[in-house]
Amino acid sequence: MGETISVNGTQRSLPDDPRITLLDFLRRDLGLTGSKKGCDHGQCGACTVIVNGIRINSCLTLAAMHEGDSVTTIEGLGTPEDPSPLQRAFVDQDGFQCGYCTPGQICSATAMLEELANDWPSDASNDLEGKIEISGEEIRERMSGNLCRCGAYANIVAAIRDAATETSA
Amino acid sequence: MRPFQYERARTLGDAARLVAGADAMAIAGGSNLLDLMKLQVETPGELVDINRAGFAEIEDADDGGLRIGALATNTATAVHPRVRSDYPVLARAILAGATQQLRNKATTGGNLCQRTRCFYFMNIDQPCNKREPGSGCGAIDGVAKLHAVLGTSDECIATYPGDMAVALSALDATVQIASVDGAERSVPVRDFHCLPGDTPWRENVLEDGEVITAVTLPAPVAGVQLYRKVRERSSYAFALVSIAAIVEMRDGVIARADLSFGGLAHKPWHDLRISDLLEGAAPSAQLYDAAADLLLEDARGYGENDFKIPLARRTLHAVLAQAVEDAA
Ligand SMILES: Cc1cc2nc3c(=O)[nH]c(=O)nc-3n(C[C@H](O)[C@H](O)[C@H](O)COP(=O)(O)OP(=O)(O)OC[C@H]3O[C@@H](n4cnc5c(N)ncnc54)[C@H](O)[C@@H]3O)c2cc1C
Ligand code: SF4
Ligand code: FES
Ligand code: FES
């Protein structure tokens, strides 16, 4: 099988052409079209996936650089029958309009809740070392890498707040 | 992207040997290099993936300082307990840059070597002396809002766009560099980036085939540490002006003032005369003005970026006033 990468728990062969970005690999080669190509330049966050537990822009990394890594995309987070807490919260709170940015928003927020649980500070945190209080300001700063052209931000923040309270409760 | 050969370096020796190839470039996080390769601004024939070459550690240095591996991600650095407690200006500067997704990939070495965000540089259909020597500078008399007001030349008025290095400059950190023959050298961050002069394509002192292995921070110093970044929106934008400041007060007098400035020049700007002026003086608005006079003595605007000159003055006032208040 040559070099492999784990995507949503399944081992996959890495592509031969080193130019293929992780995003193109997921969408074109694996047919996982949940992750979106909004800008292809690291600016919009629509391509956000989780690699080894960390959120990254899959458009600005090569698939070949991820030999042996473990990737989770929106398809791996939940299903319509069994959505993840964030997926459910986005539906409950109407956290989207056209839905184009939504997979990236949800992958990003999923990893963000881990960062919050580890008390990683953000630019919005008053204290670099203390416990982080989840606030609208913290969520907006931490999610600033995910743009929404429909401007569904208010409901996106509400959905993340819901899921954050649920997971920390 | 143009076709290239992809190689993976497994050790520092590998990395140095491969990067020394005529048409080779190192790739770390890839967040700047791949962006520019898609635009065909960078067209390496060989891409050397150094991510597994094993210099990502952040560890205590013998002199009480901290050694940050060149492959440590910006996130790993910003959340490191010692960075948060002993070098907060560095954590703050990193957190003020880019987005969490980008910081999760961006590395110490890549961040130092990131190219300018000048629009003409990033568009191969435009003239740019940095990208294509002799083609002219589109930004002079063009779109120059992000551009430099200090240390410019007739050839190039681009800025170094990063935040992290501004804090490293204030902290007087050192860049550790290795080359293919096993030689190692170290260069103060303050001397790492170059002014454009008549060689605008040269952004830093790295020679072909050299690899950054780490940045070392001196033992922590007393005082308040601040990073203030002024930008066009409150998150996720490059600095128009930024200031990293380390200020210590003793008996109502400024005992230490290490300041570096981002967004103003082709390198993090550091002027020792400002420290000399401030140290030993009692804080006052007149003193801050005199510091701004020194900083901006030779400042020159290019139309669209004229605003940076008064903005730098006001930001310096605000930062010094806040640092003095916090340090009192
Ligand atoms: C949308 C967007 C917004 C951004 N906003 C900000 C911001 O506000 N503030 C900020 O500071 N930055 C910002 N950035 C830039 C980002 O911080 C850089 O892209 C990143 O730090 C580069 O690191 P990297 O490891 O990904 O570098 P790479 O892209 O891998 O490499 C960049 C360059 O460094 C060289 N290089 C890498 N490692 C080494 C090494 N060890 N030795 C020698 N050479 C090496 C490479 O050959 C290449 O030339 C932004 C980027 C994007 C895309
Ligand atoms: S400012 Fe420098 S980088 Fe920008 S167009 Fe002029 S020469 Fe090129
Ligand atoms: S598609 Fe990757 S950030 Fe926009
Ligand atoms: S819901 Fe349409 S872009 Fe966000």
**Percentage of chain A exceeding pLDDT 70:** 98
User: Which residues of chain B are within 8 Å of residue A61 when distances are taken between CB atoms?
Assistant: 29-31, 34, 105
CB-count burial class (<10 Å; 0-12, 13-18, 19+) for B153: middle
Say how many domains are in chain B: 1
Is B7's pLDDT higher than 70? yes
Where are chain A's structural domains?
4-76, 85-168
pLDDT at B9: 96
Tell me whether domains A4-76 and A85-168 share a fold.
no
Of A41, A62, A108, Cβ closest to residue B101: A108
Alpha helices in chain A (DSSP H): 22-24, 74-77, 85-92, 102-117, 136-142, 153-168
Average pLDDT over residues A40-61: 98
The per-residue pLDDT for range A148-163, each reduced to its tens digit, is: 999 999 999 999 999 9
User: Which residues of chain B are within 8 Å of residue A48 when distances are taken between CB atoms?
Assistant: 101
Average pLDDT over residues B20-42: 97
- Ligand 1 near B242 CB (within 6 A): no
The per-residue pLDDT for range B181-197, each reduced to its tens digit, is: 889 999 999 999 999 99
- Across chain B, the runs of DSSP E, i.e. the strands, are 5-8, 24-27, 46-49, 58-60, 66-69, 174-178, 184-188, 211-217, 224-230, 241-250, 253-262
The whole-angstrom separation of Cα B46 and Cα B5 is 5
Let me know if residue B263 belongs to a domain. Answer: yes
The whole-angstrom separation of Cα B280 and Cα B223 is 14
Tell me the pLDDT band of B285, cut-offs 50, 70 and 90. very high
Let me know if residue B266 belongs to a domain. Answer: yes
Is A168's pLDDT higher than 90? no
- Ligand 2 near B25 CB (within 6 A): no
pLDDT at B117: 97
Assign residue B253 the CATH number of its domain.
3.30.390.50
Residue type, B101: Q
Looking at the structure, give the CATH architecture of the domain made up of residues A85-168. Answer: Orthogonal Bundle (1.10)
Domain hosting B292: range is 224-327
Q: How far is A130 from chain B (nearest CA, A)?
A: 10
pLDDT at B24: 97
Average pLDDT over residues B292-310: 98
The per-residue pLDDT for range B202-254, each reduced to its tens digit, is: 999 999 889 999 999 999 999 999 999 999 887 788 999 999 999 999 999 99
Let me know if residue B237 belongs to a domain. Answer: yes
pLDDT at B103: 98
The whole-angstrom separation of Cα B52 and Cα B56 is 9
CATH 1.20.1440.230 fits A4-76, yes or no: no
Let me know if residue B108 belongs to a domain. Answer: no
Let me know if residue B111 belongs to a domain. Answer: no
B199 CA to centre of ligand 2 in angstroms: 11
Give the number of A-B residue pairs with CB atoms closer than 8 Å. Answer: 94
